Amino acid sequence: MNILVISLAGIGDTLFATPLIHELRANFPAARLDALVLWPGARDLLEGNPHLNTVYQKNLLRAGKAEALRFLWHLRRQGYDLSLNTHPQSRVHYRAVARVINARVRISHQYDNACALDRLLVNRTLPQDYTRHAIENNLALLEAAGARRTLPRHEYEVFLTAAETQWAGDYLARHQWAGRTLLGVHVGSGGTKNLPLRRWPLDHYLALFQELRQSHPELGILLLGGPEEAQPHQRLAAQTCHEQVRVAQTGSLRQAAALLQRCAAFLSVDTALMHLAAAMKVPRLVVIETPTWNKPIEPYGHPFTLIPNPAVAGRNLDYYRYDGRGIRGSPAELLRCMSAVSVPAVAQALRRLL
C-alpha cells in the first residue's frame, strides 16, 4: 500500500500532521508512507522522521505551471492508493493537487469554502471542527482511511540528532550564554495572504525588552527566525543592549529547535515557532492573541499563557476562518488590533512566569 500525506499549508501545520503520520505507520506498518510539503522549513521538521519513507518538498506557489505539473506528474506515477490532505488546508488548490496526484482514495476535510468542485477533486470528506485542535481534526481522518487510533498518546514529533542538540550547547557556550536563563522570542509570523498584519508591533517589543532589562537583568533574550525576520532583527539588535538581546544565527528550523530546548520561556504570536517551542517542551509559553487565534491552532498538549487581545474580544472567527481567504479587515484596522495588546500586559505575564 502506498500512502501520501499532503501538508502544503504553513510550517506549523506540518507539525500538526506528525501524530497522524505516526498513527498511519502504526496502522499500516508495511506501507510506503510519504509526505508532500510546500516549504523547506516543513521538510526540515520532517527530516529524520522514522515513520516516513520519503519527504517531497516543492514550492508550488513559486514554481512555474509547467515545472509544477512535471513534479506532480512524477508523484502521480508513484501509484498512491491513499492520500490525506491534513488540516487546515482550506484553499481549493490543495485539493486540486490531490486530484492531479490521483490516489485511488483522496481524503480531505470540508471547509467553509466547499463547493461542487470538491466532489471532483477528493472522494472522501469529513467536516472540520473549530472546537477541536487541528491534530484532533487530523486524527479524525483515520476512520475515513479505514484505520483507527492505536497509540496511547499523541504529541508533536520532531526528531533531532545528538549532533544538533550538541550544536546548540556549543553555540551558547561560544557566545558565553551557557547557563543563562533564556527567553526565546519570535517577532514574525506567516508571510502568505495578509498574515504579516497579525504581528505585534516592533516598537512594543523594544519597550518590552527595555522593561525586562530593568526587572530581569540576568535574562538572555534570543531572537529566533529566518531570513524574513532579518530586517526587524537588525533594528532590535541596534536599539537594545547587545549583552541581553542576541539574534540567533541558525541555519535551519532544526537548529532553532535545538536552541529552544535550552530556553526557559518563549514569546510570540501564533506561529510555527510557537508550536516548535511546544514540541521542544519549553517550560513557559506566552502567546499574544491575534485575529487568527482559535482552538485548532493552540499549542497542543502543552501549557501556555495567552495574553488576550481586547480588540479581538472573542470575535476570532469573524476575523478569520478556514475558507482560503485572509484576515478580514483593512491593513490599518488589523495594525490597530495588534497594537491593542499593551506592553505592560505582556511584561506582567513574563515577570510572573520568570
- Domain ranges, residue 97: 2-144
Examine the domain organization and report whether 42 and 112 are in the same domain.
yes
Examine the domain organization and report whether 50 and 111 are in the same domain.
yes
For residue 293, the 8-state DSSP code is -
Q: How many domains does the chain have?
A: 2
Examine the domain organization and report whether 115 and 35 are in the same domain.
yes
**Mean pLDDT (the chain, rounded):** 95
- Tell whether the model's pLDDT for residue 16 goes beyond 90: yes
pLDDT for the residue 346: 98
Beta strands in 9-53 (DSSP E): 32-37
Q: What is the crossing angle of helices 65-76 and 92-101, to 10°?
A: 50
Residue among 68, 120, 112, 105 nearest 91 (CA) = 112
What are the Cα distances from residue 142, in Å, to 3, 109, 169, 204?
Answer: 12, 12, 39, 43
Confidence of residue 63 (pLDDT cuts 50, 70, 90): confident
Say whether the peptide bond before residue 88 is cis (omega within 30 degrees of 0): yes
DSSP character string of 296-342: GGSPTTS--EEE--TTTTT-HHHH--SSS---SS-HHHHHHHHHTS-
Give the Cβ contact number of residue 79 at 10 Å. Answer: 11
Pull the grid cell for residue 110.
Answer: 470540508
Residue 24 within any structural domain of the chain: yes
pLDDT for the residue 59: 93
Confidence of residue 197 (pLDDT cuts 50, 70, 90): very high
Examine the domain organization and report whether 272 and 314 are in the same domain.
yes
Mean pLDDT, range 294-318, rounded to an integer: 96
Length in residues, the chain: 354
Confidence of residue 191 (pLDDT cuts 50, 70, 90): confident
Residue 13 within any structural domain of the chain: yes
Examine the domain organization and report whether 117 and 218 are in the same domain.
no
Among candidate residues 112, 144, 176, the one where a domain is terminated: 144
Residue 173 within any structural domain of the chain: yes
- Tell whether the model's pLDDT for residue 28 goes beyond 90: yes
- Tell whether the model's pLDDT for residue 51 goes beyond 90: yes
Residue 153 within any structural domain of the chain: no
pLDDT for the residue 132: 97
- Tell whether the model's pLDDT for residue 62 goes beyond 90: no
- pLDDT tens digits, residue range 87-142? 999 999 999 999 999 999 999 999 998 888 888 999 999 999 999 999 999 999 99
pLDDT for the residue 35: 98
pLDDT for the residue 242: 76
Question: Which contacts qualify for 71-78: CB closer than 8 Å, 24 or more apart?
Answer: 72/97, 72/100, 72/101, 73/100, 75/4, 75/36, 75/101, 76/100, 76/101, 76/102, 78/2, 78/4, 78/34
Residue 155 within any structural domain of the chain: no
The answer to whether residues 105 and 19 touch, using CB atoms and an 8 Å cutoff, is no
- Tell whether the model's pLDDT for residue 14 goes beyond 90: yes
Tell me the torsion sign for CA atoms 296, 298, 302, 305. negative
Task: Quote the percentage of the chain above a pLDDT of 90.
Answer: 90
pLDDT for the residue 190: 79
Confidence of residue 48 (pLDDT cuts 50, 70, 90): very high
Find the Cα–Cα–Cα–Cα dihedral 310, 315, 321, 327, rounded to 10°.
-50
Examine the domain organization and report whether 98 and 208 are in the same domain.
no
Examine the domain organization and report whether 190 and 267 are in the same domain.
yes
- pLDDT tens digits, residue range 213-254? 999 999 999 999 988 899 999 999 899 877 899 999 999 999
Examine the domain organization and report whether 200 and 315 are in the same domain.
yes
Among candidate residues 95, 111, 144, the one where a domain is terminated: 144
Mean pLDDT, range 8-25, rounded to an integer: 96
Confidence of residue 340 (pLDDT cuts 50, 70, 90): very high
- pLDDT tens digits, residue range 71-92? 999 999 999 999 999 999 999 9
pLDDT for the residue 298: 97
- pLDDT tens digits, residue range 161-184? 999 999 999 999 999 999 899 999
The answer to whether residues 241 and 217 touch, using CB atoms and an 8 Å cutoff, is no
Lowest mean pLDDT across 49-58, 189-198, 329-338: 189-198
Examine the domain organization and report whether 8 and 85 are in the same domain.
yes
Residue among 222, 272, 288, 227 nearest 46 (CA) = 272
Which CATH number characterizes residue 81's domain? 3.40.50.2000
Confidence of residue 61 (pLDDT cuts 50, 70, 90): confident
Among candidate residues 97, 114, 144, the one where a domain is terminated: 144
pLDDT for the residue 117: 86
Q: How far apart are CA 321 and CA 344, in angstroms?
A: 30
Examine the domain organization and report whether 117 and 205 are in the same domain.
no
Mean pLDDT, range 134-155, rounded to an integer: 97
